[in-house]
């Protein structure tokens, strides 16, 4: 009986494939970076063919390293960079334009026009999202308006739209299946998260023909089978989820009140709110965490633009460290008589502020401020920003205060014990780091394995989650209050600079 699961983790800068065993241990993995394209200021593109070839190559390499053939793979799970938009020809499979990446800001004018015309309340009520170039809907509209003949072809039913999961699924099945899951659909600005269907009013507003859209299925469902010649045999595709939702699943956050935070270049935090789609009053996003057996589970999501990239700034921009691992020990040398704050708004501030215009600033500098104080400020900035998300989520959903939330963390920055301890101190809550750090790929593998009967129901899968270390708060209330007050004043200073510019 086939007992392995192949997880495809298609990210922003690289494609990865991991072969998991039936006990969720990793048999082998492979990774391949691909080219980024920046054709204009604020524009970010990928060549869809690069996404496809790198994905296929890593799948083959991971299977080879694990010494398994297609007959040993029970199912494939796909997780992907969210919001990145591909439009391709239904007959030939050729993309009509490069993929427009989630980071791309070219549709800012479209978004500004939608807001000025008063459409944001309707869009937010239906989708749980804010009107921002981040999401897929305005990207599709841009392609249809800027590629010669694309709109006419789309209206004739000749073009297809998909996020990266849909595009890979279409290629893997030889063009037989055009589908996505509810988590990816919920990031498009076109999907009603309450009815679980594409929304005709939003499609009309953004001028996107319904014929372009993929079928929306559960996160664990039958998504067809691979063309035999791709991987040496037909393999069922049984799971799909956007990367942050997949990490939520990989962290086994199946109970309302559970929260995960992923620390990479930026940071994404999701709080499970169960069957209740909580409308945020604090500029958080309401999104679908996962959909199983037709039942949608919702989450509040907060995005921090700068987390690990602030450490990269210390290394590459200032030359204060050679390796990220040096940051914690350097921060330990901080002069405790100084209170230096970094607001790392290098590309604006994310949730709960959503201000793309402001820029970063350092506060509290003295003549004695040096590398240790800057490292201390950088690591604390990530913790303070997480606190802001934490506080906004608890304000939006009071039940969170009653659940004694534990934060489960993953991503590169969680290797820093110093940062995780300070995070626990400022949240005044436990921070749990898991044994398996590949939580995004594990989430995709779980969804596929659940559908294939290799992995158990969510409650039993949650029992298999293993703690590597729990960080418990040990900061005094007085110190915590003082530090958080200083951070709040620093953020207000940065936000005030924007209003002064206006």
Taking every pair of Cα atoms in the chain, the longest distance, rounded to a whole number of angstroms, is 68
Q: State how far the Cα of 203 lies from the Cα of 206, in Å rounded to an integer.
A: 5
- The stretches of 117-177 forming alpha helices (DSSP H) are 120-127, 136-146, 150-155, 164-172
User: Would the annotation count 134 as a binding residue?
Assistant: yes
Are 278 and 298 a contacting pair, CB within 8 Å?
Answer: yes
For residue 235, what are its two tokens? 């393999």
Calculate ∠ Cα 229-224-244, nearest 5°. 105
Backbone angles phi, psi at 267, to 5 degrees: -140, 135
User: Would the annotation count 245 as a binding residue?
Assistant: no
End-to-end CA, the chain: 66
User: Would the annotation count 265 as a binding residue?
Assistant: yes
Pick from 454, 4, 449: nearest CA to 231: 4
Interacting residues of 469 by C-beta distance below 8 A, sequence separation 6+: 417, 420, 432, 433
Q: State how far the Cα of 189 lies from the Cα of 195, in Å rounded to an integer.
A: 14
User: Would the annotation count 486 as a binding residue?
Assistant: no
User: Would the annotation count 83 as a binding residue?
Assistant: yes
Q: State how far the Cα of 150 lies from the Cα of 173, in Å rounded to an integer.
A: 25
The CA-atom distances, in angstroms, between 46 and each of 163, 217, 246, 453 are: 12, 26, 22, 35
The CA-atom distances, in angstroms, between 242 and each of 80, 110, 483 are: 5, 25, 35
User: Would the annotation count 16 as a binding residue?
Assistant: yes
Question: Three-class SS string for 285-335?
Answer: EEEEEEEECCEEEEEEEEEECCCHHHHHHHHHHCCCCCCHHHHHHHHCCCC
Are 218 and 296 a contacting pair, CB within 8 Å?
Answer: no
Q: In terms of C-beta density within 10 A (0-12 exposed, 13-18 middle, 19 or more buried), how is residue 214 classed?
A: buried
The CA-atom distances, in angstroms, between 12 and each of 48, 135, 164, 413 are: 12, 15, 10, 18
Q: State how far the Cα of 18 lies from the Cα of 497, in Å rounded to an integer.
A: 46
Q: What is the DSSP string of 110-134?
A: HHHHHHHTT-HHHHHHHHS--S-TT
User: Which helix (H) or strand (E) segment is 228 a member of?
Assistant: helix 228-231
User: Would the annotation count 308 as a binding residue?
Assistant: yes
For residue 466, what are its two tokens? 């293993």
Q: State how far the Cα of 207 lies from the Cα of 370, in Å rounded to an integer.
A: 54
Binding-site entries for sn-glycerol 3-phosphate = 12, 82-83, 134, 243
Binding-site entries = 12-14, 16, 82-83, 134, 243-244, 265, 308, 312, 412
Binding-site entries for ATP = 12-14, 265, 308, 312, 412
Binding-site entries for ADP = 12, 16, 265, 308, 412
Binding-site entries for glycerol = 82-83, 134, 243-244
């Amino acid at each position: 009986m086939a007992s392995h699961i192949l997880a495809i983790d298609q990210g922003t800068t690289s494609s990865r494939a991991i072969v998991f065993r039936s006990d969720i241990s990793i048999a082998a993995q492979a990774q391949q970076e691909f080219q980024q394209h920046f054709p204009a200021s604020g524009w970010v593109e990928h060549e869809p063919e690069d996404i496809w070839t790198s994905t296929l190559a890593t799948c083959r390499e991971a299977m080879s390293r694990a010494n398994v053939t297609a007959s040993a793979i029970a199912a494939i799970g796909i997780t992907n960079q969210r919001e990145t938009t591909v439009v391709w020809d239904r007959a030939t499979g050729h993309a009509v334009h490069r993929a427009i990446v989630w980071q791309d800001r070219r549709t800012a004018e479209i978004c500004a026009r939608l807001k000025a015309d008063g459409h944001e309340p309707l869009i937010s009520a239906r989708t749980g999202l804010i009107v921002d170039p981040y999401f897929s809907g305005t990207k599709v509209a841009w392609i249809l308006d800027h590629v010669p003949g694309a709109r006419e072809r789309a209206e004739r039913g000749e073009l297809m739209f998909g996020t990266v999961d849909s595009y890979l699924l279409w290629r893997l099945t030889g063009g037989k299946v055009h589908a996505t899951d509810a988590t990816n659909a919920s990031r498009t600005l076109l999907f009603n998260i309450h009815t679980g269907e594409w929304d005709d009013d939003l499609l009309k507003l953004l001028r996107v023909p319904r014929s372009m859209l993929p079928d929306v299925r559960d996160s664990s469902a039958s998504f067809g089978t691979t063309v035999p010649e791709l991987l040496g045999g037909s393999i069922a595709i049984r799971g799909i989820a956007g990367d942050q939702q997949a990490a939520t699943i990989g962290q086994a956050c199946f109970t309302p009140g559970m929260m995960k935070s992923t620390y990479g270049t930026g940071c994404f935090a999701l709080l499970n709110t169960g069957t209740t789609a909580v409308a945020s009053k604090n500029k958080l996003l309401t999104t679908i965490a996962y959909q199983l057996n037709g039942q949608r589970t919702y989450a509040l999501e907060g995005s921090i633009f700068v987390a690990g990239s602030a450490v990269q700034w210390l290394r590459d921009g200032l030359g204060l460290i050679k390796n990220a691992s040096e940051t914690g020990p350097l921060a330990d040398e901080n002069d405790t008589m100084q209170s230096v704050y970094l607001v790392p708004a290098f590309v604006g501030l994310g949730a709960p502020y959503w201000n793309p215009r402001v820029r970063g600033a350092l506060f509290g500098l003295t003549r004695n401020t040096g590398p240790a104080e800057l490292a201390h400020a950088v690591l604390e900035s990530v913790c303070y920003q997480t606190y802001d998300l934490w506080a906004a989520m608890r304000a939006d959903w009071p039940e969170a205060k009653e659940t004694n939330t534990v934060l489960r963390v993953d991503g590169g920055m969680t290797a820093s014990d110093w940062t995780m301890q300070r995070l626990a101190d400022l949240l005044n809550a436990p921070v749990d780091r898991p044994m398996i750090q590949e939580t995004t790929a594990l989430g995709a593998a779980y969804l596929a394995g659940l559908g294939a009967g290799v992995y158990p129901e969510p409650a039993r899968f949650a029992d298999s989650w293993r703690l590597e270390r729990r960080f418990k708060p040990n900061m005094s209330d007085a110190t915590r209050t003082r530090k958080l007050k200083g951070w709040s004043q620093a953020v207000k200073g940065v936000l005030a600079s924007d209003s002064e510019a206006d």
